[in-house]
Structures are given as C-alpha cells and as structure tokens.
Amino acid sequence: MTNSPTGGRGYSAGRGRPAFDATARAMLLDALTAGAKLAEAAAKAGVSRNTPAQHAKTDPVFAAALAEAKATGRTVRAQSMPHGESRYNHAGCRCPVCCRKATAARTARRAAAEDGATERARPIPITGRTPETPPSFSLARAS
Ligand SMILES: [Zn+2]
C-alpha cells in the first residue's frame, strides 16, 4: 500500500478513496484553522493524515495555506487553554494568572528537587545510625 495521491490504485481514485479535491482541501483547511489537530481535520476531509503533507510537497500554494491554517489553529487552541502553568509554557501567555501559577509550580518543583538532593547527599554516619534515630538497645541508657 502506498500513499500516493490516488491511493496507490493508479487513476481509479474516482471509484476508490475520495480524491483530495478542492472541496476536501477546503474542509481540511477549515478544520485546521478552527483548531482541529491534523488527524481530526484529515478525517473530516476524508483523507489520510499523510495526504496533506504529500500534496504540500508538490503544491506550494497548498503548502502555504496548510502552514497558515496550522498556525491559526495553534493560536485558537492556545486561546481555549485555561490560564495556568501549561498555558504559560506552551502558549507563551504572560498574564498575571499564568505568571503566578507558573512561578509557584516552578518554585515547588525546585524545592522538591533540593530536598531530594539533600536527602541523597547526607552521609551515613559511621555508627550505622542516622543522628535522629534513637538507639533501640538499652545499651545507650547505661551512660
Ligand atoms: Zn494567561
């Protein structure tokens, strides 16, 4: 099975898989512009998710339209993302809410990482007990 534009069946695309015609292209581009992922948009247009990229290789006009639709779609998706750390990281939002949440999350992670490092770096005392551990033998009470 190949992924040629005619579905690997020569010029029988009319009877087999629907061609990636102007209607299908418009459906794909509209869906992408509205924020759909490539796989969803391709499904709506009735083509394989590889089809758009293959057409883009030989059709610069379509390639430009595809790139623009994807870029617009990314913006649309970013705008529908709730404000918080992931919007700060992935959508570059620098509003007060995103900044505060991203800073808080970063600070918490850093503190957790430092705790972990301290834990690992603490040397094991030569007595074999950590200083905080009370001796479990009555030996210690003798002194
Ligand atoms: Zn924000």
Please give the distance, rounded to the nearest whole angstrom, from the Cα atom of residue 143 to the centre of ligand 1: 63
Contacts of 2 (CB under 8 A, 6+ apart): 8
Rounded Cα–Cα distance for residues 45 and 17 (Å)? 11
Percentage of residues in the chain with pLDDT exceeding 90? 57
The interaxial angle of helices 60-80 and 22-33, nearest 10 deg, is 30
**Residues with CB in 5 Å of ion ligand 1:** 83, 93, 95, 98
The rounded Å distance from CA 73 to ligand 1 centre is: 18
> How do the domains of the chain map onto residue ranges?
17-80, 82-120
* pTM of full prediction above 0.85: no
Q: Encoding tokens for residue 10?
A: 């020569």
How many whole angstroms separate alpha carbon 102 and alpha carbon 85? 4
Cβ pair 58, 64 in contact under 8 A: no
Residue 12 confidence (pLDDT) above 70: no
pLDDT in tens, 54-71: 999 999 999 999 999 999
In this prediction, residue 11 carries a pLDDT of 46
Ligand 1 center to residue 35 CA distance, Å? Answer: 19
**Which residue did the predictor score with more confidence, 27 or 78?**
27
